Amino acid sequence: MSRANFLRVIVVSLLFALVLQPEWFAPIFEPFTPPGAVVIYDRTSLLSLSLSHLGIVAVASLAAIIVAVLLAILVTRPQGKAFLPLSRTIANMGQTFPPVAVLALAVPMLGFGAGPTLVALFLYGILPIFENTMTGLSTLPPATMEAARGIGLSRRQRLIQVELPLALPLILTGIRLSVVIAIGTATIGSTVAAHTLGEVIIAGLLTNNTSYVLQGGLIVGLFAVLIYDALTQLETHTRKRLGVM
């Protein structure tokens, strides 16, 4: 087993242990716990919070991927270039407004819960996917595109069979950045009653219990590291398969 795979096994094992058997780590977190306070967060199952956290990130990221890729395809077509400024404005919208501000604006319309968090993560995640997809579709090898036209492929066939596969490594890079940002940003959803790991961190801040903050932050951090690594491996595999460095 390589050193990288060995480290992955350790990180995965640590994450599973923290989520499924957090009481095993009580001696480690106890020094950070105020006298008389509970060491391990027990108001809600850490497994339940983790699954809900990842579910919210997955839904928001999927929506961001669909919208960002479709927008990028539109503005890289001859008939859609006029929409590039508008598309860039839409993609930049989430980055212009902080997620907390989006939550505050969304709560009156959607109420408390996962809804405002989904909107905030969706808006915040569009830009990196849109920019990378647009770059990937705009920098395709001219010789390859000419060959695709030469064998009689239609525009739709060229898009599906040539352009998107060649642009996939860059698209995956944008998705990786977007998803990892969403994993960390989703914690603020607990300020509007979304069921995320931010609940543990907020509880620790409100009760001055640093052990709660460490537990929530460590689990979120491990999820981010593992998902970042998995998407990086997928991107590397895709580049090798396509012969792109």
The domain that holds 210 is classified in CATH as 1.10.3720.10
| DSSP category for residue 68 | H
- Joined together, the tokens standing for residue 147 give 């060959």
Residue 221 lies in a domain: yes
- The chain-wide mean pLDDT, for the chain, equals 89
Domain membership flag for residue 213: yes
In a domain, 7, yes or no: no
The pLDDT value recorded for residue 39 is 93
pLDDT score recorded for residue 244: 61
Q: How far apart are alpha carbons 215 and 165 in whole angstroms?
A: 40
* Cβ atoms within 10 Å of 185's Cβ, excluding its own: 21
Residue 37 lies in a domain: no
Domain count, the chain: 1
Q: Give CA–CA dist 135/173, Å, rounded.
A: 11
The answer as to whether 69 is a domain residue is: yes
Separation between Cα atoms, residue 52 and residue 216, nearest integer Å: 14
Structure tokens at 47: 């497994």
The range of the structural domain enclosing residue 172 comes to 48-242
Is residue 27 included in any domain, yes or no? no
Whether residue 8 is contained in a domain is answered as no
Each of the 245 residues of the chain gets a pLDDT tens digit; together they read 678 888 889 999 999 999 999 999 999 999 999 998 899 998 999 999 999 999 999 999 999 999 999 999 999 888 878 888 888 887 887 777 778 878 888 888 888 888 899 999 999 999 999 999 999 988 888 888 888 788 888 888 888 888 899 899 999 999 999 999 999 999 999 888 899 999 999 999 999 999 999 999 999 999 999 999 999 999 888 888 876 65
By C-alpha distance, which of 22, 27, 33, 29 is closest to 208?
A: 33
**Residue among 27, 143, 130, 148 at smallest CA distance from 83:** 130
| pTM, entire model | 0.91
Distances (CA, A) of 116 to 105, 108, 150, 194: 8, 9, 49, 8
- Residue at 29 is within a domain: no
CA dist 244 and 173 (Å) reads 14
